[in-house]
Structure formats: structure tokens, C-alpha cells
Amino acid sequence: MRAAFSDTLVALAKADPNVLLLTGDHGYALFDAFRAQCPDQYINAGIAEQNMVGMAAGLARAGFRPFVYGLAAFVPVRVVEQIKLDIAHDDLPVVLCGDGAGFVYSHLGTSHQSTEDIACTRAIPGLTIYSPADRFELAACMEQAYAQKGPVYMRMGKADLGDVHTLPPALPMNQFQPVARGLGPVTFIATGSMVRTALDIQEAGYPDAAVWSVPSIKPIDENQLVEIARGSRLLCVLEEHSVIGGLGAAVAEVCSIHHPVRVLRIGVNDRFSHHCGSYKYLLQEHGLDLSAARAAVDHAVANLQP
């Protein structure tokens, strides 16, 4: 995914000299290609994320197309006020790229982990939120973010889990993307890194279940979601994010109004990590590893009313 991010950003910048990359002193190796091919379009704003977002807003007003890169714990979480007032309020075409969402920066502790970024940004009016699952979705989301000319938050999680698609997904990216077809009573809906987990659960124990990836958290395709819900008795929503205010919450909100159905939310519960450890360890501690997620699904299926 990181290579796709770099390649797509370079392609956009070479095609449009107004595309600028701003980074808060991060990602030097990641941006080697960009700095080599588009050196005049690269700005290292230093470890001053609030100022960087304000700078991006000013550049957008001057006709530039800023892409702002940082760790998701800092962009957007540290700069929510600046995103709200400097960018979203005036509908400026700034793309905010938060890398390492979820527990990716595991050993660095709570300060560098981001499990609340979707919740923080969902409530900001007019801000689109993308959460791609693989390199295909990431490239498509970036291209769509550039084309739509409005404020966007791009959430990027664990980057080395492999592809969930074999071909580029269908546009527009605000639609649910099919990963596995099925007509069973259980449907898996996931975003980001957890699409791989959903697919693994489906392949291991629920071969007749459909798996849908949700690269667009906001806007979410309500009509498509209702159609999916009408064909299911249980929606299993997986995300490497808090169960409060994330994808599972969005799914439950839509279904409660238009088609009530059982929604199982598999995500981070309302607590901090108890211990520091590896990415694998933190997934286990929070019940997001394959074994725990599968057990949660099995329990919900066993308790479905006949």
C-alpha cells in the first residue's frame, strides 16, 4: 500500500504542478521518489502539525492542491480544530493522509496509536473519509480525492497484509466493494486492515457469506447498505478502530432507521491498551486477532433467533 501511495501521489503531482506534498517531518524513505521527481512540490513543515494544516489551507486558497501527510495520531487527531475551521468550514481541497492508523505504531504506545480518528472526523461537516484496504483501493481513493476537489481524510492502516482485490475496484469509491460473494444469512462488512481478517473468517468457516470492503466511511452508501442488510440476518462489522463512532456505528445508525437487523461490531472497546507490545500482541489484547474475531462471530451466529 505504501508503494501505491507514493506512486499515485507522484503521478498526480507530475500531471498537475499545483499538487503539493506537505509532511510533518515524516516519511523520508517513503517520499524519495516524490522528492526526486517533484522537488519543487515538496514541503517539510517540521514537527508542527497545526501550523502545517493552516499552511495547507492557505495554499489551497491560492489555487494549490495540498496533500498533507502525517501519522494518524497527529493527522487528524492532533489537528482536529484546524481541520474543522481552516479546511472543512470553507470546503477547501486539502487531502489529509493519516498513516499508521490503528495499532501499527504499537511499541510507541498510546501517543502514537490511533483508534479514534474516524470518530473525530466523522462529525466534521463536509469532510470525506476514505479507509482503503489494499493498494488497489488506496490508488482509487487518492485519485477520487483529487478529483472531487473538497476536504478529504485518507486513513491508512497496516500496509503489508496483501491484496484483497485481484483487480482495481469499481468506481465510485463511496460504494461498498465486493471481496467475496455469498448469499448466506451472515454478511461481513469491514474496512482497512480488517478486511483481510473478515476474508479469512469467511474462508475458514462461512463460505456462503458475502464479504464487503468499505473504502468510504463518509459518505457511506446508505442505499447499498440497506440492500445488503435486507439479505442478511447478521451483519458482522470489523474495524481496527473504536466501536464508538466508527464504521460499525455508522452501519448501526443507518440500519436502525431503514432496516433493523442484528449488527455485531468487532472493534476496539472503550478502553486504552493495558500493556505495550507488538502489533500482533495488541490485536490479541483487544480481541481483533483472527481467533478472537472468529469466536465473536461464532457466538453471535449461535445466538441468532430461529
For residues 151 and 181, membership in a common domain is answered with: no
The confidence score (pLDDT) of residue 27 equals: 67
Q: How many domains does the chain have?
A: 2
Q: Is residue 161 part of a domain?
A: no
Q: Which three cell numbers stand for residue 252?
A: 448501526
Last residue in a domain, options 97, 123, 155: 155
For residues 133 and 13, membership in a common domain is answered with: yes
Last residue in a domain, options 101, 123, 155: 155
For residues 13 and 144, membership in a common domain is answered with: yes
**Which of 145, 144, 141 has the alpha carbon at shortest distance from 165?**
141
Q: Is residue 48 part of a domain?
A: yes
In order along its 306 residues, the chain shows pLDDT tens digits of 889 999 999 999 999 999 999 998 876 789 999 999 999 999 999 999 999 999 999 999 999 999 999 999 999 999 999 999 999 999 999 999 999 999 999 999 999 999 999 999 999 999 999 999 999 999 999 999 999 999 999 999 998 999 999 998 888 888 999 999 999 999 999 999 999 999 999 999 999 999 999 999 999 999 999 999 999 999 999 999 999 999 999 999 999 999 999 999 999 999 999 999 999 999 999 999 999 999 999 999 999 987
- Domain range holding 73? 2-155
For residues 187 and 117, membership in a common domain is answered with: no
**Which of 170, 168, 159, 164 has the alpha carbon at shortest distance from 188?**
164
The confidence score (pLDDT) of residue 159 equals: 85
- How would you list the strands of the sheet with 186-190, edge to edge? 177-180, 210-213, 186-190, 234-242, 262-268
| Spacing of C-alpha 185 from chain mean position | 26
Q: Where are the beta strands (DSSP E) in the chain?
A: 19-23, 42-44, 65-71, 95-99, 128-130, 152-155, 177-180, 186-190, 210-213, 216-218, 234-242, 262-268
For residues 78 and 124, membership in a common domain is answered with: yes
Q: Is residue 169 part of a domain?
A: no
What is the β-pairing status of strands 262-268 and 234-242?
Answer: parallel
Q: Is residue 172 part of a domain?
A: no
What is the β-pairing status of strands 128-130 and 216-218?
Answer: antiparallel
| CATH number of the domain enclosing 216 | 3.40.50.920
Model confidence, pTM: 0.96
CB 114 within 8 Å of CB 272: no
Cis peptide before 172 (omega within 30 of 0): yes
* Sign for the pseudo-dihedral over CA of 161, 115, 137, 99: negative
For residues 36 and 99, membership in a common domain is answered with: yes
Q: Is residue 160 part of a domain?
A: no
Q: Is residue 47 part of a domain?
A: yes
For residues 203 and 151, membership in a common domain is answered with: no
Q: What's the maximum distance between 2 C-alpha atoms anywhere in the chain?
A: 64
Q: Which three cell numbers stand for residue 206?
A: 462461512
**Which of 91, 89, 53 has the alpha carbon at shortest distance from 70?**
53
CB 6 within 8 Å of CB 35: no
For residues 99 and 62, membership in a common domain is answered with: yes
For residues 150 and 9, membership in a common domain is answered with: yes
Q: Is residue 279 part of a domain?
A: yes
Whole-number Å distance between alpha carbons of 233 and 151: 36
For residues 130 and 191, membership in a common domain is answered with: no
Q: Is residue 163 part of a domain?
A: no
Those residues whose C-beta lies under 8 Å from the C-beta of residue 302, and which sit 6 or more positions away, are none
| CATH number of the domain enclosing 94 | 3.40.50.970
For residues 181 and 288, membership in a common domain is answered with: yes
For residues 201 and 275, membership in a common domain is answered with: yes
Last residue in a domain, options 155, 186, 219: 155
